Structure formats: C-alpha cells, structure tokens
Structure 1
Amino acid sequence: MSGGAQRHVSLFRQPRFRSFFVAHAISQFGDRISELAFPLLAVLVLDATPAQVSVLTALVWLPNLTGIFLGAWVDGRAHKKRLLVAADLIRAALLVTVPVAFAFDAGTLTQLYAVALLTGAASVLFNTAYPAFFVLLVPRSRYIDANSALSASRSVSFIAGPALGGVLVQALTAPVAILVDAVSFVASALGIGRIRPDHTARTARADDPEPGTLWHRARDGLRFTLRHPVLRASLGCTTTVNYFSFVFSALLVLFASRTLGLPSGLLGLALGAGAVGGLLGAVLAPRLSERIGVGRSIVAGAIVFPASISLVAVADGPLWARVGLLGAAEFFSGLGVMLFDVNLNAVNAAVIPDGLRSRVAGAYSTVNYGVRPLGALTGGALGTWLGLRPTLWIAAVGGILCVLWLLPSPIPKVRSLDDLDHPDGPQPDLTEAGRSSGR
C-alpha cells in the first residue's frame, strides 16, 4: 500500500496500534493523578520544604543518566514487548507500597524518595525499548499521525487526570490517588501484552546485537546522536527547554498551594482546564505541519511552550484571576509542547536507523532527561535563595533560549518527512563511523 493510500486508513482500524493506544491512554491518565498526588502528599502530609519537593522531582528523572547504557543493552534484546510489560508491572508494584505504608502510618519522605527513584528507573527501561517497538506499530508515512493520536490521549489525561487527582486527594487522601496510578500500569501491561507485533526482516536485523562491549555500543548511540545535524539540534533544544521547565515544574505545586493559596481541588481543575491546549496542539500538529512545514511547527512550539511560564510568574489578585492565569499558562504550555513534541518525535524517528533506535534513545534520554533532576534541584535552590516568583521568571526566559539550537540547523527547513533521507540508506559520514567504533 502506498504512503498516500495509508494516510486515508484510520490508525484505529489497525489492531496493533489500537491496543497500544488504549494501554497508553490508561497509563497516562493514572500518571496525571500521581504527578499531583506525590508532591501534595509530601507538602500536605509530610510538610516537605521547597528543597525536599525538588529532590522528590529530581529522583524520578535521575535514573535517566543510565539510559545510554540501558539503551545499548535493550538494543540487543529480541523481544522489546516483554521489556515494556515488565517496566509497567515494576512501576505498579512500587506504587502500591505507598498507600500500604501510609495505611499503617509508616509512610516517610525517605520511602517516597525510594519509590520515585525506582519507578524512574523502570520508566527508563520502558522509554528505551519504546522507539524500536513504535516502528512496528505504524509505517514511516504515519509517524506524525500516530504521534498526534498518542499525544492527544496524553492531553486528554491532562484535562481529566489532575481534576480527578485533586478530588481524590481532597476526598480520599493522596495515597489512594497514587493507588489509582498503580492500577493504570497493570492495565497498560495487559494491553501491551495482547499486541502481536509484525517482526519483519528489517526489525529482526535491528534486534541482533552488534559485536563489541556494552560501552562500545553505548558510545555508538551517543556518537551518532551528536554527529547527526538533526539529532544534535533536537537534543540541544530539548535539553535546554527541559532544564528550565523543570526549574518551573519543581516549584509549581508549592507556588500554587502556598503563594497563590489554591486548594487541592481548585488546583487540579486549573491544571486540567489549561491542558485543553495540549489536546488542541496534538490535534492541530499534523495540520499545521502540512500548512507551514514540520520544521516551522517545531520552532513555534519551542517558543510558545516555555514562554507560557511567564503567566504563572505574574499571577496575583483575586482567586479567579490566580486560577485563570494558571489555567492560561497551562493552556499555552500544552499547545506549544504538543506542536513541538509531535513533530520533533516524528522527525527523530525518521532519521534514526533501526539498528540504533534504542541506543540513540538511551543516549538522548541520558542527556535530555538526565538534565531534568538538575533543573529541579536548581529550582529548589533558586526558590529558597531568590524566592519563587523570580525563579519562575528565570525559567521562562531561559526556556525560550532553546530555539537558538534550532535556527542554524536543518530542522526549520524541513517541510515534510519526505525531505529527510531514509535512515537505513547510505550515510557514510554518520552511520558507518558509528558502527566501526563499536567493533
């Protein structure tokens, strides 16, 4: 079937993608509840300080520093689906320990730190196995459409998840809300376990580990990423915006609850209402990329996403104004991040060779996600030293600087994925150099 004909067939008529979409949507919904419940549990029950809340956020992302080696290991495993299922079940088991401990008055901040660290490690396993699994679900011509659909489900979770999370925390306590996320991971594991991927000859070749030590294979992934002009600019941009967005996110719940004085339920509603922008961005991303080009859509999202933090920094006045500005900030943040993510993820998937997908994902996440705990810790330190509002302004201005990585790169000139060379074609300056270093 040609690429043009494939685009007229709904992705939801394809059983493999449909099953993964449902599993992904359930898991994302649970995540939104837990993301609100975890810091609220630390702040409201354990009376955590700004620095302690930032450490909790940092520990979730700290395991990404091992991604470069885990990705090299994952590339040598033939059954990526088993790794995805295992990662979901591990996260579910870890999260269950939180409500159990607090039910017996044994919950501590130390336990929350341990759960955050270990669930973060399981997430790294999932994220490094996912790219090689994703290309089994949809053809290259549908990467943007598939990312749009998955991102749309994530955005819907941001609409309903925080609102429900706030209600659950207020009515049934934060540990019960975290239990809901544990159940969502079990449901995700069951959904992914039902998928029967079509292992083509191309994929089988990608699953064969190349000769060389784990260190050499890990180095291949990092070298390919840094030498490829598209991936290098993509990594620099996402790393910059993630660092400053985590300076912001580490303080968001604390700022909203203590400085703005928003109760848990109203905070959840504000975040959920603002996430409508994410859904709109996910839906509009394919259409906007067709109209102005994939590259320009990425640049637009890279500016709008961090700039929205400034609306939170100026929030003040009556309760309706505080809630409104927080909701508006989330709306434009969601809109920008989806224009950015949907298109950039598709571009990255289109330029990475099959045999390097998990290695590149591991190297990419080591830098991109590894900087997040540094951002969170910076937010806690600056929030304590300068105050919360000045720190939010630093996050807004610093985040916008991410666009400086994109402008001199080939990305703004990309009209469609067809403008990009197929990753498994001849690339002597990049692929071959990476392969030779691994032997």
Structure 2
Amino acid sequence: MSQRSHRAFRLFWAGDAANQFGSAVQDVALPLVAATALAASPARMGLLAAAGTAAFLVVGLPAGALVDRVRKRPLMAWTTTARAALLLTVPVAWWLDVLTFTHLVLVALGAGVLTVFFDVASQSFLPALVPRAELPAANGRLTSVQQVARLLGRPGSGVLAQAAGSANAVLGVVAAYASSALLLRAVDPQERVPERSGRRLWTEIGEGLRFVLRHRLVLPTVLCTATCNFFHGAYSAVSVLFMVRDLALPEGAVGLLLAVGGAGGALAGATSGWFVRIGQVRLIWVSMLCTQPAWLLVPLAEPGWKLSLLVVGLLVTSVGTVLYNVAQVSLRQALCPDHLLGRMNASVRCIVWGAMPLGALTGGLLAESLGVRGALWVAAAGLSSGVLWVLGSPLRRMRDVPSITTVEGHG
C-alpha cells in the first residue's frame, strides 16, 4: 500500500473501532435500561433484542443494491451521525420522565436500519483500501481493534449504568458514534462514484442473492453463520436476565462478564495471522469445531465458583468466533467481483443477521415456557451445531482460497 493508502486505512480503522465501542456500549446499555429502569419481562427482552437486528431481515437486500450505487465512505459517516442523534433521545426522554419501552424498541429499530447501511458499506469499502491479497491481515487488524473496543465498551457500559443510571450510560454510545463519524469524514481514498446501471433495483438485488445462494464455497459459510446467529440471538435475548436475576449480579459485574468475550476476541484478532498459516479455508471449520461446544458450559453457571464456567464458555467461544469470522469474511471478499461486493455483503447480512431477531424472539418465548436457564440450554446446543454446515461442504477438503477465475458455481 502507498503512504496515502496506509493513512486512509488507519483512519478507517480508528473510525471503525469507535463505532464498535459505541455498539458494545449500546448492546449492554439498552437491555439494562429495559431490565432495570423499565422492569421488562423475558418476552419483552426478546422483543428488544429482535428490534436491534430486525432491519437486516427487512431492509438488508435493498440496502446492498443502494450501497453499490453510492460512495461508501460518506454513507458510513452520515449513518453514524444519525445513530448518535437517535440514541441521544433515550437519556433525554429519561430526564423528562417520558421514557417508555415502546420508545426503546423504536430507537433499537431505527439504529438497526442505520447499522445495516453502515455495515454493508464498511465491508464493501475495505477492498478499495487494501489489495485483495492483504484482506486477511486487514480484517485481522480490524477485528482485533473491534474486540478491544468491545472489551472496553461492555464493562464501561456496566460501570456507567451502575454509577449514573442505565439511561445515562447511553451517552457513551452517543459520544462513540460522534467520534466515529468525525474520523470517517477524514478518510480520503479518492473513492469513485459508481456508474449508474439504469437497471431496476430488484434486478440488481437478484444478482447479489444468486451469487450467494449458488456459490458452492460461500453458501456453506452463510448457512453456518445463520444457524449460529439464530441461536446467539436466543442467547442474547435472555443473557442479561440470566446474569441479573439468576446469578444476582450488579450492573457493573454484568458488563465485566460480557467483556470476557471481547478479551478472547481481541486475542484471536491479534493472532489471526498466525492461525491463518494452517490455511485460510481450513481455519473456517477448525476454529468452530474446536471452540463452539464450550457454549454448553454457560447454562451450568451458578453463583459462586461455578460462575467460572460462564467465563470459560464466553472466552473460548469468542476466540473461535473471531477466527472464523476473519477467515470467512476474507473468503467472501476475495471470491466476489468488485461490482457485486455491496449486494453480496447485503445478501449475506440479510440472511445471517436476519436470523438474529427470529432467534431473539424464540429465546424470549423459550424463557417464558422453559425458564431462562432452559432457553440457554437450547441456545448452547444450537450454537454448537452450526459447524456441521461447513464440515459437510467442499471447504473441509480445501486449505486456501482459490482465485475467482478458478472457482466454479458463482453467479
């Protein structure tokens, strides 16, 4: 990369880290507002968790086609600014004593829509900053800092909530998103405005979907990720309730425990270059097979020394998840033609993130009927099984990523 490209990547890296910090605080702060300030039931907690990712299912596909029509960097900056403004309404409503659960759900929905456009643009923008051969290293660096941001953001959110109230902790989200927007506005990759194709939106959306659904190497990773995300949605819907009510932990401790995953993820991101030596494609299934069964430790946690089972489960699974994501995202980016990147990423996000709100709703309903711990057992079993999709695919017999021209089956 040239010196100018290095500077652009560093600014993008910093802006993405600030965005991830804000997301980490948001992931803890909004459920804490619902669980403590608004005394939400398990079903309502599931609804709130679903609201945060429902946009990937609803607007994910058109978002990809629209992202492919515009410059990515300005879009990321504007969507981050809008998220900051939207999240600011939560503490303001709390100060005015008018905050309701409906308001919280609407904020989560709106922020989710903006996140769809930001994430699709972000993954499609990276190949414009670095050569394709350097994508695994660049994704590893991004993931490492993202995990550090989460490592700091989640306990930070818990500490803020315990010290100043859960609604006021949302101000940390606002500050992080505002910082991210400023950094992204400073990125200057000399990005070109995409040419107008003149075709209908749904025609372009179909091209992205066909690429994902017909590609013999991409589709198994999508099915694996969707399965894991569905059951992780169920886990996320009840995890805060499990810690607050079943394990009797204060807000600060909840934030610290949720940060454990960030610690494992940061370690995995920092060392992903070393793990890729076993083969980028091979890492996709090895990372999941060796780590995801540790989810089965989580429902065994109890107050006292058995709390360590929760810590170990979150730590081990986060290492595997980050290594898997670095490998499979780099695989998709390397195999997809440039003109399809936005639509490919949006199609993938629609499927894999669209599974999360469905899982969250399922988790809330399971907790109502089986109890919170019963819902966690179902989620842990599902998370452990996602790897079967890639184990039964051609990926299991490959070591590294083939070039676009040597791969059959993409459309």
Q: 1:298 aligns with which of 284, 303, 307?
A: 284
Distance in 2 (alpha carbons) for counterparts of 1:413 and 1:12: 39
Contact 1:147 1:346 (C-alpha < 8 Å) held by counterparts: yes
CA distance in 1, matches of 2:409, 2:267: 39
Matches within 5 A, 1:64-213: 64-65=56-57, 66-77=59-70, 79-199=71-191, 207-213=194-200
Q: Is the 8 A contact 2:209 2:344 kept in 1?
A: yes
Number of residue-to-residue matches in the alignment: 410
Unaligned runs of 5+ in 2: none
Q: 1:294 to 1:12 in 2, by over 3 A?
A: farther
Q: Is the 8 A contact 1:271 1:326 kept in 2?
A: no
Partner SS for 2:129: coil
TM-score between both structures, scaled by the size of structure 2: 0.95
Instruction: Tell me, yes or no, if the aligned pair for 2:157 and 2:172 is still in contact at 8 Å.
Output: no
Residues of 2 paired with 1:212 and 1:428: CA distance? Answer: 26
| Residues 215 and 409 in structure 2, CA contact (< 8 A), matched pair in contact too | no
Q: 1:308 aligns with which of 282, 294, 299?
A: 294
Q: Secondary structure at the match of 1:308?
A: helix
Which amino acid counterpart does residue 182 of structure 1 have in structure 2? V
Match of 2:97, SS state, is coil
Which residue of the other structure, out of 239, 263, 286, is the alignment partner of 1:276? 263
Residue 3 of structure 1 corresponds to none
Q: Which residue of 2 aligns with 1:351?
A: 335
Kindly indicate whether the alpha-carbon contact (under 8 Å) linking 2:211 and 2:410 is maintained by their aligned counterparts in 1.
yes
Q: What is the deviation of 1:103?
A: 0.6
Q: Secondary structure at the match of 1:275?
A: helix
Say if 1:174 and 1:376 are closer, same or farther in 2 by CA, change over 3 A: same
Q: List per-residue Cα deviations over 1:126-171 (Å, max 9, x = no partner).
A: 1222233111111111111111111111111232222211110000
Give 1:35 shift.
Answer: 1.2
RMSD after superposition: 2.0
Contact 1:274 1:326 in 2 (8 A): no
Once the two structures are TM-superposed, the CA of residue 49 in structure 1 deviates from its matched residue by 0.2
Deviation at 1:400, TM superposition (A): 2.1
Question: How high is the TM-score relative to the length of structure 1?
Answer: 0.89
% identity of equivalent residues: 34
TM alignment of 1:188-337, pairs within 5 A: 188-199=180-191, 207-290=194-277, 292-304=278-290, 306-318=292-304, 320-322=305-307, 324-337=308-321
Check conservation: 1:285, 1:297, Cα contact below 8 A: no
**1:414 offset after TM fit, Å?**
3.6
Q: Secondary structure at the match of 1:72?
A: helix
Q: Select between 266-275 and 89-98 the one with higher mean Cα deviation.
A: 266-275
SS of residue in 2 equivalent to 1:169: helix
Instruction: Find the residue that maps to 2:128 and give its secondary structure.
Output: coil
Secondary structure of residue in 2 paired with 1:195: coil
Tell whether the 8 Å contact from 2:212 to 2:410 is kept in structure 1 after alignment.
no
Q: Name structure 1 gaps, 5 residues minimum.
A: 1-5, 432-439
Q: Deviations over 1:9-58 (max 9, x none)?
A: 9x998101100111111221222122111111101010000000110010
Distance between the aligned counterparts of 1:163 and 1:149, measured in 2? 22
